[in-house]
């Protein structure tokens, strides 16, 4: 993950602030943990993949996005933007946890429409 050029949008700095705020001391522990469904106490287990997808979908609705994001949206975005940046597919396969030569990963990649400018250039 690269550093962002703007402090308030930098994913590395945000992660470091979150680690301190959430008192995450175990380097192998979960970044986002489950809450007990009855007492709302923090548990040691991490969020399920379904919970992550639900959070993304709810945040997309709150932001009035014209699409319905799901748990696959970040994975698709990783593949698409990596390809647009000219990176080799092997990099996305490794980072996204796909097998080498994965046809599933290649289906996630959106076709390049020739629009090379990105509204996020210089933002992150």
Q: What is the DSSP string of 45-106?
A: EEPPHHHHHHHHHHHHHHTT-SS---TTHHHHHHHHHHHHTT--HHHHHHHHTPPTT-HHHH
pLDDT tier, 63 (very low <50, low <70, confident <90, very high otherwise): very high
Per-residue pLDDT band for 111 (boundaries 50, 70, 90) equals: low
Helix (H) or strand (E) holding 12: helix 11-21
Instruction: Please give the average per-residue pLDDT across 20-40, as a whole number.
Output: 87
**Nearest 5°: CA angle at 3, between 19 and 115?**
125
What share of the chain has pLDDT > 70, as a percent? 88
pLDDT at 39 over 80: yes
51-59: average pLDDT: 91
**What pLDDT is recorded for position 112?**
55
Which residues have a Cβ under 8 Å from the Cβ of 96 and sit 6 or more positions away?
75, 78, 79, 105
Q: Provide φ and ψ at 2, rounded to 5°.
A: -80, 155
Other CB atoms within a 10 A radius of the CB of residue 24 amount to: 15
**Predicted structure pTM score:** 0.59
Q: pLDDT: is 6 or 62 the higher one?
A: 62
The pLDDT score that the predictor gives to residue 66 is 92
């Amino acid at each position: 993950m690269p550093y962002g050029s703007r402090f308030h949008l930098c994913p590395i700095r945000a992660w470091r602030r979150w680690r301190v705020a959430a008192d995450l001391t175990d380097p192998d522990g979960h970044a986002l943990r489950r809450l007990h469904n009855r007492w709302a106490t923090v548990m040691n287990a991490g969020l399920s993949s379904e919970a992550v997808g639900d959070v993304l979908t709810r945040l997309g609705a709150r932001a009035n996005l014209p699409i319905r994001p799901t748990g696959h949206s970040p994975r698709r975005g990783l593949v698409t933007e990596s390809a647009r940046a000219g990176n080799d597919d092997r990099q996305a396969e490794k980072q996204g946890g796909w097998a080498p030569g994965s046809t599933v990963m290649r289906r996630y990649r959106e076709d390049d429409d020739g629009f090379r400018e990105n509204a996020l250039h210089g933002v992150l």
